[in-house]
Amino acid sequence: MTSPTLTSSRQLARRRSGIEAGRPVWEEPPTVFGRLSKPVVLALVALLVTFPLYVVVVTSLSSTEAVTRAGGLVVIPRELTIAAYVQLLSGGVVTRALLISTVITFVGTAFSLGLTVLAAYGLSRPGSLFHRPLLFVVLLTFLFGPGIIPSYLVVNALGLIDSYASLILPTAISAFNLIVMRSFFMGIPGELIDSARIDGAGEFAVLSRIVLPLSKAVVAVVGLFYAVGYWNAFFNAMLYLNDNNKWPLQMVLRTYIVQAQVLPTGAGGVTSGSGMGLSPAPSLAIKMAIVVIAVVPVLLVYPFIQRHFTKGVIIGAVKG
Amino acid sequence: MTTVVSGRRSTAPQAPKGGGAKRGGGKAGGANWRHRLRRDWPLLVMTLPVIVLLLAFHYIPTLGNVIAFQDYSPYTGIRDSEFIGLANFSRMFSEPAFWKAFFNTLSITLFQLVFYFPIPIAMALLMNSVLSPRLRTLFQGVVYLPHFFSWVLVVSLFQQMIGGAGLLAQTLRNHGYEAVDLMTKPDTFIVLVTAQSIWKDAGWGMIVFLAALSTINPALYEAAAADGANRWRRLWHITLPGLRPVIVLLLILRLGDALTVGFEQFILQRSAVGGGAAEVLDTYVYYQGLLVGDFGYGAAAGLFKGVVGLVLVLVANRFAHMVGEQGVYSRS
């Protein structure tokens, strides 16, 4: 219960701005059915999204007894333990895949973001040489995809099969991100850029000292989009990597969860023994822990992405 | 008469092009071209890496589709493989497995158009009627989230919920019922993949409609209410017409992608459900081309898909212009 004074002051503020309880004066009051069904529907939708995540997290933290008693996935948490995570992260397939995914995500994001910033600026100066045909080259990629087979043949011809570069280079540039960033750069007042140029700044100096400091939000959003993309990428790894030892986390997730292959144990397996004196975690908890490890980075960066939605960076770009 | 026209022509080049005040380019000519190159070379250098990447991994593979017309073998290579005209295509069109994949793809697209497409619109309308901004932000935060999950993760979560060893089967078993495995049933596969798509992307799809809703002038609602229109009439006469351009645009985009239903989602579940129901054009290309090793044939199937998709977008866009909507690109 909120205190009555707080409620009334809030109502006062609304009344002063001509709004009764947030609802415009001309609008009819909601029906009983609407008033009851709306929260139910909203809660149901929110539950549909969060419940599977909740079950997975709880199961990953459950002991053998808890899993046995529940007959599988655990809904009501009992006897929580981090044994599954200790086992997974003490060396083995998942530790290595996690490391690979992390490095690919960081290197790939830096590479993609860097090139996207450069090209977005290079194409954003009105009237510059060749900017129309070059922009056309970028835009045309929206209309058709290259096709799986020819892409494979090109990557093969470049000798990139079974290399980490094959996880980055073929899908390094998102034309969409490039256009979003370009339209943001074009919104920067030309006078600012011209005045810097009069002061003797070259294009690189203009980009790094004038344009980038003004574009932190869009750079952050595009960077996060690239990062999430690299973290979630699975297609390139499936197509171009034959060597299991180079698998990123999503491939491990696919093999042991979706295809439900048996988790190998021991040296070179998914887990290398039970670490730190904890009793060994049930294999279901280990599987769910792999799922959680794949989700957590996305959950960590998500609030930062979401914060920029409200600033309208993405929507504005989509509409423009 | 003639003087007016020529007068216009002489002034036209001096108008700034592309909105650029400084870089209008001025008079066209060869000497000027060299001047622009000297001025703009850093911009070209900046753009170059992206262009190279797009050429290498987008345009060259697109040209590589010529192997669809070849009896291609990796050993002889693209230069020495024999051209066999449309043989790959005629073989493809007489292959029942190809048509199975083709019609699977189309039926999934149609099914999703009916059962998936309206959901983001409905959610956006519901969202728009929620008054508390705090609740709106929270709810949006929750429903956008699955868009950022990988397909591997989404399929994993579905498997844990409704798969053979999942929560649903487990609960049924614990209460003495027969367990069901909804993840491996070919008959209901189309419902399953639609449910997965809705779970992953329907919330995110809302974003476009919310943006469109926010551009509708609130005074329209007020005026309509003053004229005695109740909330349903306002929805019908103001809100839905306000959303129409966006709906048409998204329908066009969806139509252009009619033969694309998502490669990852299907490749992940193809072995569990079987190649009958779960085979779509993309997985067909992958299996025939890469796993069977029939590169030319796989490329032919992929090229067929790409060309049909391109034609569909152009046709749909033309149609949108005909009914007076803006479409994806406007005619200039």
Looking at the complex, does the CB of residue B60 fall below 8 Å from at least one CB of chain A?
Answer: yes
CA distances from B235 to A21, B78, B171 (A): 22, 58, 42
In the block, residue with structure tokens 């351009």: B245
Residue of A150, A190, A302 lying closest to B67 (CB–CB): A150
pLDDT at A312 over 80: no
pLDDT of residue B28: 53
Give residue-wise pLDDT tens across range B116-140. Answer: 999 999 999 988 887 788 888 888 8
Residue of B33, B62, B207 lying closest to A144 (CB–CB): B62
* Single-letter residue type at A28: E
Q: How confident is the model at residue B260 (pLDDT cuts 50, 70, 90)?
A: confident
pLDDT at B13 over 50: no
pLDDT at B309 over 90: no
pLDDT of residue B135: 85
Cross-chain residue pair B302–A149, CB shorter than 8 Å: yes
Segment holding B239, helix H or strand E: none
Nearest C-alpha neighbor of A305 from the set A228, A215, A234: A228
Give residue-wise pLDDT tens across range B32-81. Answer: 888 888 888 999 999 999 999 999 999 999 999 999 998 888 888 888 88
Q: Which of residues 90-119 of A touch B (CB under 8 A)?
A: 115-116, 118-119
Measured CA to CA, the distance from residue A201 to residue A195 in angstroms comes to 9
pLDDT, mean over chain A: 83
pLDDT of residue A53: 94
Looking at the complex, does the CB of residue B173 fall below 8 Å from at least one CB of chain A?
Answer: yes
pLDDT of residue B29: 56
pLDDT of residue B30: 64
Q: How confident is the model at residue B147 (pLDDT cuts 50, 70, 90)?
A: very high
pLDDT, mean over chain B: 84
Question: Per-residue pLDDT averaged across B141-152, rounded?
Answer: 92
Q: How confident is the model at residue B22 (pLDDT cuts 50, 70, 90)?
A: very low
Q: Report the share of chain A in percent with pLDDT over 90.
A: 41
The whole-model pTM stands at 0.85
Pairing of strands B82-83, B70-71: antiparallel
Give residue-wise pLDDT tens across range A113-151. Answer: 999 999 999 999 888 888 899 999 999 888 888 888 999
Nearest C-alpha neighbor of A252 from the set A101, A115, A128, A121: A101
pLDDT of residue B315: 86
Give residue-wise pLDDT tens across range B73-107. Answer: 888 888 888 888 899 999 999 999 999 999 999 99
Residue B198 corresponds to which tokens in the numbers above? 């809705």
Pair A123, A137: CB distance under 8 Å: no
DSSP assignment of chain A:
---HHHHHHHHHHHHHTT-BTTB-TTSPPPPHHHHHHHHHHHHHHHHHHHHHHHHHHHHHTB-HHHHHHHTSS-SS--SB--HHHHHHHSSSHHHHHHHHHHHHHHHHHHHHHHHHHHHHHHTTSTT-TTHHHHHHHHHHTTT----HHHHHHHHHHTT-TTSGGGGTGGG---HHHHHHHHHHHHTS-HHHHHHHHHTT--HHHIIIIIIHHHTHHHHHHHHHHHHHHHHH--HHHHHH---GGG--HHHHHIIIIIS-PPPPBSTTSSB-S--TTPPPPPHHHHHHHHHHHHHHHHHHHHHHHHHHHHTTHHHHHHH-
Q: Report the share of chain B in percent with pLDDT over 70.
A: 88
Of B25 and B126, the structure prediction assigns the larger pLDDT to B126
Measured CA to CA, the distance from residue A244 to residue A268 in angstroms comes to 11
Contacts of residue B174 in chain A, CB cutoff 8 Å?
71
Residue B150's SS3 state is: coil
Q: How confident is the model at residue B18 (pLDDT cuts 50, 70, 90)?
A: very low
In the block, residue with structure tokens 């009627």: B129
Residue of B25, B159, B299 lying closest to A258 (CB–CB): B159
Residue B15 corresponds to which tokens in the numbers above? 């108008």
Can you tell me the ipTM of this complex?
Answer: 0.84
Look up residue B84 and give its DSSP letter: -
Q: What is the CA radius of gyration of chain A?
A: 26
Task: Provide the terminal-to-terminal Cα distance of chain A, rounded to the nearest Å.
Answer: 44
Question: Per-residue pLDDT averaged across A246-257, rounded?
Answer: 90
Q: What is the CA radius of gyration of chain B?
A: 27
Residue of A50, A56, A127 lying closest to B23 (CB–CB): A127
Looking at the complex, does the CB of residue A45 fall below 8 Å from at least one CB of chain B?
Answer: yes
Looking at the complex, does the CB of residue A48 fall below 8 Å from at least one CB of chain B?
Answer: yes
Measured CA to CA, the distance from residue A63 to residue A85 in angstroms comes to 12
pLDDT at A275 over 70: no
Q: How confident is the model at residue B21 (pLDDT cuts 50, 70, 90)?
A: very low
The residues facing A265 across adjacent strands are A271
Give residue-wise pLDDT tens across range A22-44. Answer: 677 777 787 888 888 888 999 99
Looking at the complex, does the CB of residue A135 fall below 8 Å from at least one CB of chain B?
Answer: no
Winning range, highest mean pLDDT, from A170-174, B14-18, B171-175: A170-174
pLDDT of residue B250: 85
Q: How confident is the model at residue B328 (pLDDT cuts 50, 70, 90)?
A: low
Question: Per-residue pLDDT averaged across A99-108, rounded?
Answer: 96
Pair B327, B321: CB distance under 8 Å: yes
Measured CA to CA, the distance from residue A153 to residue A223 in angstroms comes to 29
pLDDT of residue A65: 83
Residue B176's SS3 state is: coil
pLDDT of residue B25: 46
Give residue-wise pLDDT tens across range B212-237. Answer: 888 888 889 889 988 988 888 999 99
Q: Report the share of chain A in percent with pLDDT over 70.
A: 84
Strand intervals (E) in B165-275: none
Give residue-wise pLDDT tens across range B270-308. Answer: 888 877 888 999 999 999 988 888 999 999 999 999 899
Q: How confident is the model at residue A278 (pLDDT cuts 50, 70, 90)?
A: low
Neighbours of A44 (CB within 10 A): 9
Contacts of residue B52 in chain A, CB cutoff 8 Å?
none
pLDDT of residue B329: 59
pLDDT of residue A318: 45
pLDDT of residue B259: 83
Of B301 and B332, the structure prediction assigns the larger pLDDT to B301
Q: How confident is the model at residue A104 (pLDDT cuts 50, 70, 90)?
A: very high
